[in-house]
Copies of this chain bind each other. A is one copy, B any other.
Amino acid sequence: MRRIAVDAMGGENAPQAIVEAVLKAKKELPETEFILFGDEAKLKELVGSDRERVQIVPTTEVIQDEDEPVKAMRTKKDSSMVVAANWVKKGQADALLSLGNTGALLVCGIFIVGRIKGVERPGLMPTMPVQNSDDGFNIIDVGANAESKPEYLLQWAEMASYYAEKVRGVKNPRVALLNNGAEFDKGDALHKEVYQLLKDSNLNFIGNIEGHELLTGKADVVATDGFTGNAVLKSIEGSASVIIHLLKDSLMSNGLKVKLGALMAKPAFKEVASRFDTAKYGGAVLMGLKSPVVKQHGRADARGIYYAIKQVDKMLAENLIEAFKEEFSK
């Protein structure tokens, strides 16, 4: 039986959407048990009578988005996130899913769940959309580390490639390095060194990728330092959001004919939205920890949380952590 610890109090739609997602996923995952951490009364009410393979662990505190991560971990000892992380640490659960404060989850992951021996630094890895398929790509690290060293990026690329293959089913994933040009000698000292490390590795390294190529589907895995990765991820999300909002506003504020046209063209908008629907990829994985720790967007709805549960379950079913432990203990 696989046991997933679910921080039921994190995110905008907690705990309703979280419980809804758990109950839906449970039906499809007969080998999986769910341990919900949070407000006992609320969770009991939401779960109802369907308590098979669903355990509720009462906690009294919640880490808020505005809480300072390290302080929150240290002082909110009875928070749903910290207690859930401790269950994973003690081996009472096999993985952790949260929609809460990203910084706090990173800190709980690193300091409570703990790093795999031999992994230099954990890296945060979301799956992002590409324009021409539903496959998406993984990018790592997007901000767990402000400072990065060449070896970190090599390890991140190795873990992400393995993830892409086992969890996303990509055969022989194409790995690229985010850089400021196509040629092998591009970049600062860090990225030049990483290029060589990746070239000399067993990965299917296809060379450098530039910012404008990320969404084209050129690579299945993109390695980047945590500072650049963070800026790039947020820039892409921000640009998409700005364009979509502007377009919506313009369609609604240019008179009846435009509005009617927008209504008629709706299938096209839906098609584009579905290509950029990242909920189906699950959450961002903090790679390199002793157990899977996944952060789903705080704004995720039950559908997004359901996919994140499936993702965590798949990571457990494929024994990713065991493979990493073996690889990096060499």
A interface residues, tally (CB under 8 Å):
60
- Known contacts A230-B180, A231-B232; decide if A272 and B258 are in contact (CB<8 Å): no
Q: Is the CB of B241 within 8 A of A212?
A: yes
- Known contacts A263-B261, A265-B261; decide if A215 and B232 are in contact (CB<8 Å): no
A210 touches B (CB below 8 Å): yes
- Known contacts A180-B227, A265-B265; decide if A211 and B235 are in contact (CB<8 Å): yes
Segment from A22-30, A93-101, A111-119, A245-253 that makes contact with B: A245-253
Output the nearest chain B residue to A276 by Cβ-Cβ distance. Answer: B243
Q: Is the CB of A267 within 8 A of B258?
A: yes
Assembly stoichiometry (copies): 2
Q: Is the CB of A189 within 8 A of B147?
A: yes
Show the binding face of A for B, using Cβ within 8 Å: 131, 143, 146-147, 178, 180, 186-189, 191, 210-216, 224, 226-228, 230-247, 250-251, 254-255, 257-258, 260-269, 271-272, 275-276
Q: A131-B246, A211-B230, A258-B268 are in contact. List 17 more A-B contacts (CB 8 A).
A: A146-B186, A180-B231, A216-B242, A231-B231, A231-B232, A236-B238, A240-B243, A243-B276, A246-B271, A246-B272, A250-B272, A258-B264, A258-B266, A261-B268, A262-B265, A264-B264, A265-B265
